[in-house]
Structure formats: C-alpha cells, structure tokens
Structure 1
Amino acid sequence: MFSESLPELVFYFNRNCPYAQRTWIALLELNVNFQPREIELGSDNKTDWFLSLNPNGKVPVIEQGETRVYESLIVNEYLSEISGNKLMPSSAGKRALARILMARCDSHLVKTSFSYLAHKSAENLEKEEQLKSELEAELRFLDTVIGESGDSYFLGEFTLTDIAFIPFFQRLAVTLPAFKNFEISQNNFPHLNRWLETMASRESCIQTAMKAEAIKEIYARFLKIDYFKKIGVAT
C-alpha cells in the first residue's frame, strides 16, 4: 500500500500529453491518492510558478511536500519505489531490461512514429518509404520482445514498461490510419497486437485515454504547423 505517512501528492498534468498520461496511469494502478492540477500547455507551463516546479516547463510534475519530481519515466519509478516497487520486476536483470525498453520507447518508437507522421509524402516518396520501413522495423522489434516474454506484457507481467509505451500506441492507433492509411492491427505483429488488446482492457488505460476525435483534431493541427519537428521528436 502507498504510505499514508507521506505528504499529499499533487499531480500537474495536461490530459492531452502522452508523457503525463504515463504518470496518470501509474497513479491509478498504484492506488495513490493525489490532487490533480491540470495546466494549459503553452501558457501555464511558461509561468514562473510552474518553472519553479520544473525548469524544463513540461508535464508531468509531481509535488509531495518538499519533493518535486519531473520527467515521466523518472516520476513513475519514484511512484513505484515509494509504493513498494509494485510496478518494477523483482529481479535486477529484468529491472535493467525494463529501463532499457522504457528509454527505447522515447528514443526509437516516438522518433520513428512521429517522423513518419510528420513527413509530407508528396514532397519525397523515397523518404516516405524509408520512414515507413523504419517504423515497421521498430514495431517488429517490439513484437519480438513481447513474444520472447511468453506473455501478453513486455516482461511477462504488467510493469512500468507497458505504461511507458501505451499512451503513444493509443495515439498511433488513431493517427496512423487517419493520416498514413497504416493499421498496426492489420500487419503481422501478433504479439504486439495481443499486447494492445490486453492493454485496451485495463481500466487505467481506458480512464486516461483521449477520445479518438480529439486525437485526430489535435494531431491534424500539429502536422499542419510541423509541431513534431519543431520540438525535436521528428526528423
């Protein structure tokens, strides 16, 4: 159980942010009592009071007494640790693999998927195929990892690794068909698609998910202004 001796936890987030959704899911899975404070990205996060919490000006941020933690993967490890390490594997080797995969989510899946989404196919068809191939290769890699676990989760049990990936896959399930005519479910990724089905049934993922129409609306606007390239998550 979450320690009742710790001060109240305040969760600063924006419901449209996949990184903040990671922490939202972790909080729900750990049954942590928290006070949510939604902020407006582009305005609230540029204020002095928020920058005093996180000088990077990003969500999520959690504040617990004198403790302030930011960067979603670090926040989630903190939450897991103070809750008895419930969302990390018991063995050191698997914990290391969990961290490797979580880092890979941001360095590979996010980069390849947003680069593919952001590319305007009419400008360069050869690059379009290259970016698609890079995304497919990453999806195959993840499919293999899940398959090697022998289970429906990345590491054979539900961990922070699954939480790290799911917000981005929820968005890709909407944006790839809408903007690229690409359906993950219709490609040969059996283990990955089984994982997606399993995650879709978890209450924490359902409760924190964005509506499909909201995803399409926001991403259409982002793609129009090359937002992903501007913030450095697409090439």
Structure 2
Amino acid sequence: MQTELHSLQRQVTWLKGYALTSSLLMLAFILFSLTTANKSVIRAQGIVIEDAQGRDRILIGAPIPASRSRVRTNLQRVAKEWAPKLGGKKYMDWYAGYDHSANGIVFLNEQGFDKVVVGETMPDPNTGRRQVRSAGMTFNDDQGFERGGVGVSVTAEGKTRGAFGLDDEQGEAIHMFVLEDGTRGLRVGHDDGYLFLGKAVPHSMIAGSDKAMTGALAVDRTGQVIWQQSMLAQSSQPHSTPR
C-alpha cells in the first residue's frame, strides 16, 4: 500500500511538472508570436460584438455575418413584428425578395432590430426594395423602420445619385438630393403633396414640371403642379401640368 502511495505521488509530481513546462512553452510561443506579428492588422471574415447579456449588438463583415439575434433574418419575428402592420401574408411574400445583406457594419438594438447601418452596400428597408444599390448610412427607429440616411448610388446606366433624407411614419419627409438627370434641390413632403426648392430639368422625376426651372413649386398628392415661382422670371403662375 505504501509503495502504491509513493508511486501515485511521483506520478502527480511528474504531471505537475509536465503541466508547468507545457504552460511555459505555450506562453513563450504566444509572446514570440505577438512580438514577431504585425499587431496593427486584424484579419477576419466577420466579427460579432455581444453585450453583457449575450445578445448580438454589432455585426461587421463583407458581407456581415449571420446573427441569431437579428430580426431581419428571423422570419418568425418578421411575421410577428411587421407583417400585421404592413399587409400580412402579402407582405411576407414581398419580404421574401428583400435583400438583408450589407458590406459594412450593422448596429442592433436590444430587441434585435437594425438601428444603424454603415456600409459600402446597404440592405433594403423593411418596407420595400431599393431602386438602386447605395453606399452610405441609414438609421432606423426602435422597431427597425427607416427614418433617414445619407448615401451615394450608381444607377443601371452608370450615373451617380446622392441624397440625404429624413423620414416619418408616412414616408419621405425632408430630402436633399443631386439626381443623375441634373436636378438638385430640397423636397419637403406633407399630407397634401410636397414642396420643391431648387433646380430641375424638364420632366424631372422629382420636381414634376414639364419645363426646366430654378425656383420653387408645389405639387399635390395626384402629382399636379399647383403653384410655381421661378427665380429667373420672378413671377408666380398656376399650373396643371401632369407629373
């Protein structure tokens, strides 16, 4: 019995020495790696930052990595949170065609809704497809609905469009833009239509006038120009030109 006890003691002592030696060797390897590697560069295909409760809060990647916490890619959450407000089953059918990816950074709130997106490519809003792909930043409310952003887009024809906008529950509220057709200005939406201030080419997609203009105009909810003030002619005149 005494012999067996001494044998076990020798084995424990040897294992302790082995563990200590292994730990020292591993530490030396790590220190050597850190001193010889380029510490200013981190290479990864994706990074997920969690909060103290283990919820995904920041997604970084090109494209961003998948997240168990993100509402956008959880169809059960989408059907519960958004579909009842936006069309039920029809909305879910439309939603199947939306693009949720991004090359950049997505910040999620505690509930998993996209709060801020910064990227070289941006996901579609949860209310529809983007007309053109954009690089820039968007910011959303606490339920993931887009409330504004700034971006630069390239159209299918290779032309550039830049815009900054603020939205409300009804849609586009205030937007500044430089369009590919040469139109540039400020558009203010309201319940009965919108106001435009700026320079527009004939039949601009925004200004709604059939002639080039530099000034201000009002468009009703049907797309009719109901008032126009030209800065060049310095005159006011009614219009009924279709958009």
Does TM, scored on the shorter chain, surpass 0.5? no
Interval of TM-score (by shorter of Structure 1 and Structure 2): under 0.3
Q: Normalized against structure 1, the TM-score is what?
A: 0.23
Tell me the TM-score normalised to structure 2 length.
0.23
Counting strand residues as a fraction of each chain, which structure ranks higher? 2
Name the structure with the higher helix share. Answer: 1
Larger radius of gyration: 2
